[in-house]
Amino acid sequence: MSKFLSVEPVAILVMLSMGVIVLLILRPTLIHSPGGRALAVIALFALPVASVRAGFNLHYESTKTTSFCLSCHVMEPYGESLMVADESSLPAAHFQNGRIDRKVACFTCHTQYTLFGDLNAKLNGLTHLWVYYTGQTPERIELYSPYQNRECLYCHAGARRFEEIHVADMPELVSNGIKCMDCHTTAHDVAGASAAEKWKPSIQELLEVRP
Amino acid sequence: MSAGAATRTKAETRFYWSLRLTLAGLVVELGSLFGLQHPLGFMAFAAFGCTLVALGVVLFFISLFAIPPAAEAPTETE
């Protein structure tokens, strides 16, 4: 993940693009030569397109990070619920025990593992931005649709311990006949998260310092 | 106003505008990289940075292909 979030190469590419454009602004006569026209194509097509593409990738990947999700105030209780000292809490158990990549914890469980799942998640994210900045955030935040076993099975299916325990239920789990959440009931306990006992390290430490 | 600006063709005027628009878009993109972990950084990049760069690139291609150089006459001063 981190290899996608290296800002420096993108910043250098953008500054290089800007440098060539500034050169053409300061020395406009350059474009009258064949080499100058080639430079114009590089300055006004190749480099800007490459810069925007690289910038888009960087921004796109950064929108998957836990820090990005928790940068909205309404998500703070959900961030706190990742740190509660309660083994029965699914998000806390996954986050604290490193069962998911902490840097992309929210996205890992809340994307849909389908062809357009990531795209849908991002389009929903744009809706969230609109709702947040126009002050229409609902009192109670709910999922768009009931949580699908598919999202759990994306990681758990095939894991030895999981299959040994759930072998009898696998057909029904795969078909959503029974829901994972029917038994593992504690998702984000946002109401009790702030008062609950927490794991000692701060969430910032976990996201920024520890691997 | 410079003497050069007085004799610019339409294509050249478009070319210089494309330079400015693209530069502005890249400045926005560079700024948005500092707000990478914030939704507004992404919005600034998507809504302004990408749009300005796209306009700049489109204007550049228009300046290249829209008007045959031989048919052009100098435009009014800026």
Distance CA A86, CA A89 (A): 6
pLDDT at B1 (0 to 100) = 46
Distance CA A67, CA A103 (A): 7
pLDDT at A56 (0 to 100) = 94
Q: Does B52 touch chain A (CB under 8 A)?
A: no
Separation in Å, CA of B22 to nearest CA in chain A: 7
Are A65 and B46 a contacting pair at CB < 8 A? no
Residue B3 in any domain: the answer is no
Q: Does B17 touch chain A (CB under 8 A)?
A: no
Q: Are B41 and B35 in contact (CB under 8 A)?
A: yes
- Which residues are paired to A84 by β-bridges? A198
Are B60 and A40 a contacting pair at CB < 8 A? yes
Residue B77 in any domain: the answer is no
| Statement: residue B6 has pLDDT above 50 | yes
SS3 B74: strand
Class of residue A39 by CB neighbours under 10 A (exposed 0-12, middle 13-18, buried 19+): middle
Separation in Å, CA of A84 to nearest CA in chain B: 24
Indicate the residue of B46, B49, B60 with minimum beta-carbon distance to A44: B60
- Which residue range(s) make up the domain with B60? 9-65
Residue B51 in any domain: the answer is yes
Residue B70 in any domain: the answer is no
The tens digit of pLDDT for each residue in B41-54 reads: 988 999 999 999 99
Closest CA to B60 of A55, A19, A23, A39: A39
- Residues of chain A scoring pLDDT < 70: 1-5, 209-211
Residue B4 in any domain: the answer is no
Query: Which residues 6+ apart lie within 8 Å of A203 measured at CB?
Result: A70, A79, A80, A82, A83
Query: Which has more confidence, B35 or A174?
Result: A174
**Which residue on chain B is closest to A23 by alpha carbon?**
B19
| Statement: residue B78 has pLDDT above 80 | no
Mean pLDDT of B18-29: 96
Separation in Å, CA of A2 to nearest CA in chain B: 13
**Token pair 């969430």 is at which residue?**
A203
Residue B74 in any domain: the answer is no
Which of B7, B32, B42 to mutate to probe the A interface, most A CBs <10 Å? Answer: B42
Apex CA B72: angle with CA B71 and CA B78, to 5°? 170
Q: Are A7 and B33 in contact (CB under 8 A)?
A: yes
Are A62 and B37 a contacting pair at CB < 8 A? yes
Query: Which residues 6+ apart lie within 8 Å of A54 measured at CB?
Result: A9, A10, A13
| Statement: residue B2 has pLDDT above 70 | no
Are B37 and A48 a contacting pair at CB < 8 A? no
Q: Chains A, B: CB contacts under 8 A, how many?
A: 93
Which of A6, A12, A21 to mutate to probe the B interface, most B CBs <10 Å? Answer: A21
pLDDT at A210 (0 to 100) = 61
Distance CA A73, CA A84 (A): 18
Distance CA A162, CA A83 (A): 24
Residue B26 in any domain: the answer is yes
**Token pair 């996205």 is at which residue?**
A107
pLDDT category at B76 given cuts 50, 70, 90 is low
CA dist A7 → A211, B32, B35, B51, B61 (Å):
19, 11, 11, 21, 30
Distance CA B30, CA A178 (A): 49
Torsion sign, CA atoms B11, B13, B14, B19? positive
Separation in Å, CA of A49 to nearest CA in chain B: 8
Which of A59, A106, A207 to mutate to probe the B interface, most B CBs <10 Å? Answer: A59
Indicate the residue of A15, A71, A132 with minimum beta-carbon distance to B30: A15
The tens digit of pLDDT for each residue in A45-60 reads: 999 999 999 999 999 9
Query: In total, how many domains does chain B have?
Result: 1
Give the per-residue SS3 of chain A: CHHHHCHHHHHHHHHHHHHHHHHHHHCHHHHHCHHHHHHHHHHHHHHHHHHHHHHHHHHHHHCCCHHHHHCCHHHHHHHHHCCECCCCCHHHHHHHCCCCCHHHHHHHHHCCCCCCHHHHHHHHHHHHHHHHHCCCCCCCCCCCCCCCHHHHHHHHCCCHHHHHHHHHHHHHHHCCCCCHHHHCCCCCCHHHHCCCCECCCCHHHHHHCCC
Residue B36 in any domain: the answer is yes
Q: Does B47 touch chain A (CB under 8 A)?
A: no
